[in-house]
Structure 1
Amino acid sequence: MTMDKEHHHSEDRTSPADAWADARAMIDAPDGSINIAYEAIDRHVEQGHGEDIAMLWLGKTGSRLPFTYADLADASGRLANVLAAHGLTKGDSVFALMGRVPELYVTALGTLKAGMIFTPLFSAFGPEPIQTRMEIGSANVLVTTAELYKRKIAGWRDQIPSLRLVLILGDDAPEGCVALGPAMAAASPSFQTVRTGPEDPALIHFTSGTTGKPKGAVHVHNAVVYHAFSGRYALDLTPGTIYWCTADPGWVTGTSYGIIAPLVNRVTMIVDEAEFDLDRWYSTVQNEKVEVWYSAPTAIRMMMRSGADAAAPYDFSSIRFLASVGEPLNPEAVIWSEKVFGQPFHDNWWQTETGGIMIANRPGMTVRPGSMGQPMPGIEAGIVERGEQGLAELGSGQVGELALRPGWPSMMRAYLHEQARYDKCFVDGWYLSGDLALRDADGYFWFVGRADDLIKTSGHLIGPFEVESALIEHPAVAEAGVIGIPDETAGEIVKAYVTLNPGYDPDAQLERELRGHARKKLGPAVAPREVIFRKTLPKTRSGKIMRRLLKARELGLPEGDISTLESDES
């Protein structure tokens, strides 16, 4: 299926050196310093594009606020001055916890402008995931709302000694916090962007591990080189393009391609405060004349489920490119979108750790429904397996681990405080992704599955350990094992198996109570949808719960190697 106008040829075998030289030519790094906020905002204003619309914000209740590049330059300058006035300096750590409101985008840009490190948190997280991430990231500043502060932060704020300042949106703040409204109004909009070097940390994104705590992936200012490049070549972002990335900045897509790549490429980005609503989404595409739309398979499957008739009243003629990321996009969705929108969704693949799109169905490529596409220019990808002699690269059609040659600009530079865990990702000159895939004879890559236990639900990556830990905190629960179960809409849903402490009865009331407990601790995106009571859980002799076995039994799959299994009764 060849669909769109020919922009860039798919058989692009650009060498990395040539690719990064092309990419660097897209940005303006004066005197060897490089700062994401300068590339995203200030240089456009300096070049006479200050009145271009940078962001069109759509409020839940129907408000529609445009922000020019000059507006964002002023607001981010004020925010940087507020941080500086409180004694914060280059390298300090700023966390943001709020919905998709304009202040979130201003906080991201102002933090980077001040040479500080920006970490977005998903506002639906419960108190524990927030506290864990702020501890690991040694948060110095939190920007949030009064309501989120009271509900999720106030109870444990004093347990984070690094936290020096809490800024609260609006004109009033609880005791011990600072109201952002008056502070911004009193601050000067002019701020000399802090000189940051290519390797200075800029962003920390947390990703769940299969065991232990979430990992904080560190990205540097030089990543903007790849954000600019991939935004142009994978998503067709050009100056003036009306672009809508539906991802929340609490997840890496919503920052890399919901803030940085679009602004660096001088587009007009749509930001919708509301959650998914079919008619609202279709109306937005029609009324705002969206040209490039980047979304997730969960949302696309929800659109499909509503049928072509629901889409029929709307005019989608403005769309020139559709892209999807988050988990593999089923072939039916690609074919369906071509019928309904006149364009196929172009799937692509990348990770929190890669910082940007690595493999893509790019504009002008022939889309193979179900494939994640081909490596981007400058990216060398392979399928490898571990052998006695180290890593061996596999031929076409063979399933192995998807690996990349390190060195692209947006590659993570560390996992915070976890050097050994970081080093394990790099073997024999490859970055190992932990994803299983195969490459066909024509160089298209196809996702097969996770090499570990991570659960992907509605585009969110969930580590079972985090959910199990929360369940075990309930007095009734002795042990918990958590797995993902395939689900047509969400990709996977979280399902928990628990054994109970003596004196508790496995009944419907307790099941509801445990789900409520998990929702309160973790937030609805992460909590299990179902809790199953068991006398025992399958475990290895060393005491590790075998989630793989739980999943195999749940889905009627082969149980595989159970040589390390303790005897169990399910």
Structure 2
Amino acid sequence: MSVTRPGRDAAPNMQDYEAERAAFRWRIPERFNFVSDVLERKARQTPDELALLVLRSDGSTDRQLTYRELVLASRRMGHALAGLGVRKGDRLFVMLPRIGEWYVTMLGAIRIGAVPVPATPQLTSGDIAYRIDRSGAVAVITDGQGAVKVDEVSGRLPLLAHRIAVGPAPAACWHEMSALLDRSRDTPTPADSTAADDLMLLYFTSGTVSYPKMVAHTQASYGIGHQVTARYWQDLRPGDLHWTLSDTGWAKAAWGKLFGQWAQGAAVLEMDLRKPDPDLILDTVARHGVTTFCAPPTLYRSLVTTDLASHDLSRLRHCVSAGEPLNPEVIRVWEDGTRGLLVHDGYGQSETVNVLANFRCLPVRSGSMGKPVPGFDVAVVDDEGTQVPAGEAGDVAIQVEPERPVGLFAGYWNDPDATAAAFTKDWYFTGDKARRDEDGYFWFEGRKDDVITSSAYRIGPFEVESALVEHPAVVEAAVVGQDDPQRTQIVTAFVILRPGTAATPQLTEELQEHVKRTTAPYKYPREIHFVAELPKTVSGKVRRGDLRECLRGRAGA
């Protein structure tokens, strides 16, 4: 499995942005299945090439799977599920940590047309019951800890017919996954099993404002759509070893662990990382020769507090980030510490593949969302779907007429009202606010509900947060609007300080003056609260709604 990995001098996959956009065309067959059409082909072409490297929580190697071995494992899982009675279209609730069995489960289900419903192991029993019930899942696949939670609510789930455990079966009603696979054959599953528009995956949204909705992705749209994620933004090619730090329950796992990477011929690294340890992460990158790396902004903020120069990152050639925009100061420190590696921000949602990005062939504008990915027409529009002038804030929207782009979700499953609300005329409204500059770069302002109105000014929280993070005393910051009778709202910041830094009135004033100098004076936070942590979704996004509720609670106390 020896392979030559691309170096930092490798030319980007996309060398002329405008020419690539002009020439790009989606090609969608009538029938498509990612496992049988992409992975099986790779197994025939390069059977002994590394596809998946799985590490334990301490960084030691758990297993290495070639394309041939990965395909055979997915066949056995497909036969095992079919043997239990799982059929095409049946939903499977999959709640596993970052282990090899997650891949086998996902690929085995997808290849026979069953529909995985991925979930983070952080869910409570109540969360699990809601998701299994709403999705109508007939089977659950989890580990021992997850099995305990499932059994607590199984009496409320009449459709749940099959329980599969990774590890020892906790009770007679559970099947051991290893035993199922041992009894299964590795012959091909029935060919031509799925149509292009068959349901492939259901992801639950974060549910920060209302109950989580189910995002429906189809076989071809998602399986093929993520090839632009991997080709253009992640810039992957054969020989790369790619590591996306993501919980298996997030849609970001599909962005960086399942589809586009293997379509591009790259290998995937997975690590059963529990609590993020910056030095262990960087040591893993160095020891295994990771060439492309993706992490959420919260983790990059942690990584840049370490001694980057003490780790050999010479084989790392390309870095990306997504989830929320990455602050320019963090990008600068990372570039200095890695001897020239820029972090390329990308943007998308659980509902999409990558739709905006900073690309290697274009100048990176630190803090921007980048430009539209080939295959997507993205604009900043008003409430009626009319594009607004450059420099003016509006809604980030994706054009869906006259041609719906590949990679966009089919809708919110079993929720026609929510689906209809997301589409206006020719556009899908993402719910995010941004502005577009004269050169076509997008700049994030915040979620639609996060934009602050203060004394007739509209203030995006991200710019204020970025200014705060530039101060050497600040590790992380979140900014929200607090109701105010005179100004409508006032800018209010929640700040995590570096260890050993004292939270004093003098520091508050210093941070306020720093923001005034860094951004427009009217944007400075009139209140700053020093906190030990920030409330976040399971995907790592700050729950600004929780912070606003906290402020309202204080006002009413």
Residue 32 (structure 2) pairs with residue 34 (structure 1)? yes
The 5-angstrom pairing of residues 12-23 of structure 1 reads 12=18, 14=20, 18-21=23-26
Mapped contact 1:485–1:551 kept (Cα < 8 A)? no
1:359-389, CA deviations, whole angstroms, 9 ceiling, x for partnerless residues? Answer: 0001222011110110011211111112xxx
* TM-score, normalization by structure 1: 0.77
Q: Distance in 1 between matches of 2:319 and 2:131?
A: 33
Mapped contact 2:126–2:153 kept (Cα < 8 A)? no
Q: 1:205 aligns with which of 192, 203, 206?
A: 203
Of 162-171 and 72-81, deviating more is 162-171
- Return the offset for 1:528: 11
Mapped contact 2:75–2:186 kept (Cα < 8 A)? yes
Partner of 2:52: 55
Q: Distance in 2 between matches of 1:194 and 1:124?
A: 36
Mapped contact 1:122–1:248 kept (Cα < 8 A)? yes
Q: Distance in 1 between matches of 2:113 and 2:37?
A: 13
CA spacing shift, 1:392–1:62, aligned 2, 3 Å: closer
1:29-49, CA deviations, whole angstroms, 9 ceiling, x for partnerless residues? Answer: 6xx3100222442111122x1
- Return the offset for 1:87: 1.2
The 5-angstrom pairing of residues 310-325 of structure 1 reads 310-325=307-322
Residue 237 (structure 2) pairs with residue 238 (structure 1)? yes
Residue 433 (structure 2) pairs with residue 427 (structure 1)? no
CA spacing shift, 1:100–1:548, aligned 2, 3 Å: closer
CA spacing shift, 1:318–1:326, aligned 2, 3 Å: same
* TM-score, normalization by structure 2: 0.78
The 5-angstrom pairing of residues 42-191 of structure 1 reads 42-47=40-45, 49-64=46-61, 65-150=63-148, 152-191=149-188
Q: Distance in 1 between matches of 2:209 and 2:188?
A: 43
CA spacing shift, 1:216–1:52, aligned 2, 3 Å: same
Q: Distance in 1 between matches of 2:394 and 2:246?
A: 29
Measured on the aligned residues, the alpha-carbon RMSD in Å equals 3.2
Partner of 1:369: 366
Q: 2:217 aligns with which of 195, 201, 219?
A: 219
The 5-angstrom pairing of residues 450-529 of structure 1 reads 450-452=447-449, 486-487=494-495
Partner of 1:506: none
Mapped contact 2:243–2:256 kept (Cα < 8 A)? no
Q: Distance in 1 between matches of 2:389 and 2:10?
A: 32
Q: Distance in 2 between matches of 1:137 and 1:259?
A: 22
Q: Distance in 1 between matches of 2:143 and 2:249?
A: 15
Q: Distance in 1 between matches of 2:538 and 2:374?
A: 39
Q: Distance in 1 between matches of 2:116 and 2:75?
A: 15
Mapped contact 1:39–1:264 kept (Cα < 8 A)? no
CA spacing shift, 1:349–1:10, aligned 2, 3 Å: farther
Q: Distance in 1 between matches of 2:240 and 2:18?
A: 24
Q: Distance in 1 between matches of 2:157 and 2:247?
A: 26
- Return the offset for 1:357: 0.5
Partner of 1:444: 441
- Return the offset for 1:553: 6.6
1:394-421, CA deviations, whole angstroms, 9 ceiling, x for partnerless residues? Answer: 0110011111112111111021221011
Partner of 1:349: 347
Letter in 1 for 2:171: P
Residue 393 (structure 2) pairs with residue 399 (structure 1)? yes
1:211-259, CA deviations, whole angstroms, 9 ceiling, x for partnerless residues? Answer: 4320000000112111123211111111221111111221001123221
Q: Distance in 2 between matches of 1:229 and 1:385?
A: 28
CA spacing shift, 1:216–1:184, aligned 2, 3 Å: same
1:56-79, CA deviations, whole angstroms, 9 ceiling, x for partnerless residues? Answer: 111114431211111111111111
CA spacing shift, 1:485–1:97, aligned 2, 3 Å: farther
Partner of 1:461: none
Partner of 2:471: none
Residue 336 (structure 2) pairs with residue 339 (structure 1)? yes
Q: Distance in 2 between matches of 1:299 and 1:245?
A: 11
Letter in 1 for 2:395: E
The 5-angstrom pairing of residues 548-559 of structure 1 reads 550=549
The 5-angstrom pairing of residues 524-535 of structure 1 reads none
- DSSP 3-state at the match of 2:164: strand
Q: Distance in 1 between matches of 2:497 and 2:76?
A: 42
- Return the offset for 1:295: 0.9
- DSSP 3-state at the match of 1:70: helix
Letter in 2 for 1:404: I
Q: Distance in 2 between matches of 1:392 and 1:528?
A: 30
- Return the offset for 1:14: 5.0
Number of equivalenced pairs: 471
- DSSP 3-state at the match of 1:447: strand
Give me the identity figure in percent.
Answer: 26
- DSSP 3-state at the match of 1:312: helix
- Return the offset for 1:551: 7.0
Q: Distance in 2 between matches of 1:551 and 1:393?
A: 36
Partner of 1:468: none
- Return the offset for 1:422: 0.6
Structure 1, unmatched stretches of 5+, are 458-483, 491-518, 531-545, 556-567
The 5-angstrom pairing of residues 383-394 of structure 1 reads 383-386=380-383, 390-394=384-388
1:323-352, CA deviations, whole angstroms, 9 ceiling, x for partnerless residues? Answer: 000101000111111111121110011001
Partner of 2:303: 303
- DSSP 3-state at the match of 1:182: helix
Letter in 1 for 2:297: P
- DSSP 3-state at the match of 1:155: helix
Q: Distance in 1 between matches of 2:138 and 2:11?
A: 48
Q: Distance in 2 between matches of 1:408 and 1:381?
A: 11
- Return the offset for 1:453: 5.9
